[in-house]
Amino acid sequence: MQAQILLTVNGAKHLIAKALVEHIDFNKRVYIAYGTTNNYILHHLEIKTDSLYAAGCNVNAKFNVTTNRDNVIILQNGMLVDIKDFDINENDIFIKGANALWYENGKKHAAVAAADPNGGTYGNLYIKAVCRGTDIIIPVGHEKLIPYFVETSQNVDFATGSKIAMLKFFKGKVFTEIEAFKTLFNLEAKVILAGGLEECKGSVGFLVEGENVKQAIEFAEKYNNLNILKTAEFIY
């Protein structure tokens, strides 16, 4: 059975988050870095934060950075733990969101925008996770699809908001709606279109195939308009 399903930005984030909550072994220690999609993961884990769980995002027509944020969420055996030092190891899981997704040689790749001159969570957390052989998962939706990666640094003359560097992930599993459809509903999915107006801005259309099409449609209808992101204060 085939179906065409439109996912809004909210619906796609819910789909990826719900799939990862089912996919990840939370008996292990899990580090969840900042990111809007990761905010949806926390929602499906029923973990509440005081503010938007993101270091930065594009808002107010600017590359923007949050002024206040919660501590990085760390779970051990499904319970919140307070670990002051980022003492990650090969038995742990690290979840890091992205700002760009592209395909190259048949594989998915991702990158993140860093406004921090020290590299932000990429420089402080991701590099250490790579060095220690941690299992890294990079959730990102096709709303962030770009044609190809362009190297850029903060060394520019002007920026609308914060100057950013795009940093490529060189290790980790990129987890998109396609992997989420497979994990949750055992459906094969392909991207067929993108874009929309009003509440459908940033939407992505998928052709899905398999036996559980009805469940996927019901999921989209339930979550497409459910925005769980909290307000935040930004630099710009």
> Residue 158 pLDDT more than 80?
yes
* pLDDT band at 203; cut points 50, 70, 90: very high
Residue 87: predicted pLDDT: 83
Please name every residue paired with 59 in a beta bridge, in sequence order, or none if there are none. Answer: 62
For the chain, the domains span: 13-176
pLDDT of 85 strictly over 80: no
Class (C level, CATH) for 13-176:
alpha beta
Q: Is 83's pLDDT higher than 90?
A: no
Q: Is the pTM of this model over 0.85?
A: yes
User: Tokens representing 91?
Assistant: 């038995």
pLDDT at 86 over 90: no
